[in-house]
């Protein structure tokens, strides 16, 4: 797909120096609305603990997750098939806003709940085949500020972004092929954080 430019912000700067597109909107939702969304989503979404297999043994994923989307939008990662739950009303509303802003259609969302600074996300890239050749992901953050770190696959260059309460991170182009990303653990005292990553699943790929 051709180069992505958010419809509402044609002048946004691509933060990725090469191999992909990365845009950051610090105040996509106001602080007051972000406060309300965090409380609502933490209370109402079907958060669950998950286990994955690492080097032949089962380990707990260091965060809670949930997966919502259109029927048939099965997403497989870390060796686990995720069957979508029916859309919650709040998620549908957010999806519509993001679709208008981005000029893209989403049919699923992965939720991650980081309970404190010990919860994390290891180095990975979102490039599973069902996400298409150049995945586009809209990532909304609510709650405690956390560090988002990218590392280039060939040069080892790193790029750090502080994901703040109510901020939106947009990833597109070849970013998932050129870079890996993570949410590292921290010893700083942290309250909870919810991350919603809206995606498009292409069935039958």
CATH number at residue 94: 2.60.120.590
Structural domain of residue 110, as residue ranges? 23-49+60-199
Indicate whether 115 belongs to any domain: yes
Indicate whether 10 belongs to any domain: no
Indicate whether 15 belongs to any domain: no
User: Into how many domains does the chain fold?
Assistant: 1
User: Which class for 149: exposed (0-12), middle (13-18), buried (19 or more C-beta within 10 A)?
Assistant: middle
Walk along the chain (205 residues) and give the pLDDT tens digit of each residue: 344 545 445 568 999 999 999 999 999 999 999 999 999 999 999 999 988 776 777 889 999 999 999 988 888 766 677 889 999 999 999 999 999 999 999 999 999 999 999 999 999 999 999 999 999 999 999 999 999 999 999 999 999 999 999 999 999 999 999 999 999 999 999 999 999 999 999 976 5
Indicate whether 73 belongs to any domain: yes
Indicate whether 84 belongs to any domain: yes
| Spatial contact of 64 and 47, defined as CB atoms under 8 Å apart | yes
What's residue 164's pLDDT?
98
What's residue 10's pLDDT?
58
Instruction: Outline where the chain has alpha helix (H).
Output: 31-44, 89-102, 175-178
């Amino acid at each position: 797909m051709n180069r992505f430019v958010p419809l509402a912000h044609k002048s946004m700067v691509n933060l990725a120096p090469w191999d992909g597109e990365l845009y950051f909107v610090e105040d996509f939702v106001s602080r007051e609305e972000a406060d309300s969304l965090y409380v609502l989503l933490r209370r109402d979404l079907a958060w669950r603990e998950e286990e994955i297999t690492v080097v032949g043994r089962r380990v707990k994923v260091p965060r809670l997750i949930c997966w919502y989307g259109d029927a048939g939008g099965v997403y497989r990662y870390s060796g686990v098939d995720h069957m979508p739950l029916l859309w919650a009303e709040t998620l549908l509303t957010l999806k519509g806003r993001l679709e208008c802003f981005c000029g893209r259609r989403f049919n699923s969302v992965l939720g991650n709940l980081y309970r404190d600074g010990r919860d994390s996300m290891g180095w990975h890239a979102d490039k599973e085949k069902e996400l298409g050749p150049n995945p586009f992901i809209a990532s909304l953050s609510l709650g405690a500020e956390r560090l988002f770190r990218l590392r280039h696959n060939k040069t080892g260059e790193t790029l750090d972004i502080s994901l703040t309460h109510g901020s939106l991170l947009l990833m597109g182009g070849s970013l998932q092929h050129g870079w890996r990303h993570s949410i590292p653990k921290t010893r700083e005292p942290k309250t909870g954080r919810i991350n919603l990553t809206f995606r498009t699943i292409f069935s039958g790929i």
